[in-house]
Amino acid sequence: MDIKGKNIVITGAASGIGRAMARRFHAEGASQLVLADLNADGLSPVAGEVDGTAIPTDVSVEASVVRLIRQAEEACGHIDLVCSNAGIMVDGGVENATSDWQRIWDINLMAHVWAANAALPAMLERGEGYLLNTASAAGLLSQIGSAPYAITKHAAVSLAEWLAITYGDRGIRVSVLCPQAVNTAMATGREGGVASVDGIIEPEELCNSVVATLAEERFLVLPHPQVLDYMRRKTDDYDRWLSGMRRLQARYQEET
């Protein structure tokens, strides 16, 4: 996909990766940008900067996501690319409250489900469309210190795989963004967490990978290319990989 001339929806656009995407897509010549975020005050200046339309949206609520897609279709005529990008982090494990599990599940997974379900009918009717879902390298590997994050990001990757398999022969392209540590508010105070073992990149650098992958219409967007090597090690010898992850966990716990 060439970004130039395309109508694009981005969630989580008030800051971080979403804001960087909005700026980059605007620079690449996108036709219309529809930007969504729960943070309406932060969203408005970003929309102004990129000549976009700001639609305050709570992606943890299905009706809010559906409303976003419908308003975007009405404003743009059609949507070429939906970037379902909003996400949150919840530390801890199985001891977390059910309410915490449900919230991260709704935002990190179900928001992608709802966006795809709302956007697909018109895309399928046109015979073309693109879905870009933000997951994480944690969705391909794991996340030390956060079971909810690891599990929901694995689910997000699995959903993207299913969408690509199910609709790939009907004109729908799907990519999934799987970075390690990125210098965003999520990393603030965590110094990127254990994911920063290979360094923390800026959102603008991440967007280089996004644009290049969309241009080639490949599935995995890997701003940290070494993640592919880690995946290969994981599948080559699962038990050895698990032992290595336990060593990494021990090292991380000693440092923190």
- Here the CATH number for the domain that contains residue 16 is 3.40.50.720
Q: Does the pLDDT of residue 244 top 90, yes or no?
A: yes
Q: What integer is the mean pLDDT of 134-152?
A: 97
Q: Does the pLDDT of residue 195 top 90, yes or no?
A: no
**Distance between CA atoms of residues 100 and 193, nearest Å:** 20
**Is 88 contained in some domain?**
yes
Which residue range is the domain that position 77 belongs to?
A: 7-225
**Is 180 contained in some domain?**
yes
Backbone angles phi, psi at 176, to 5 degrees: -130, 125
Burial string for 104-129 (b: 16+ CB within 10 Å, else e) reads bbbbbbbbbbbbbebbbeebeeeeeb
**Is 215 contained in some domain?**
yes
pLDDT in tens, 5-34: 999 999 999 999 999 999 999 999 999 999
Closest CA to 220 of 180, 183, 174: 174
pLDDT in tens, 144-192: 999 999 999 999 999 999 999 999 999 999 999 999 999 998 765 544 4
Backbone angles phi, psi at 236, to 5 degrees: -70, -40
Catalytically annotated residues: 149
**Is 233 contained in some domain?**
no
The percentage of residues in the chain with a pLDDT greater than 70, rounded to a whole number, is 95
Q: Domain count of the chain? A: 1
pTM of the prediction?
0.94
* pLDDT for the residue 210: 98
**Is 255 contained in some domain?**
no
Mean residue pLDDT of the chain comes to 95
**Is 239 contained in some domain?**
no
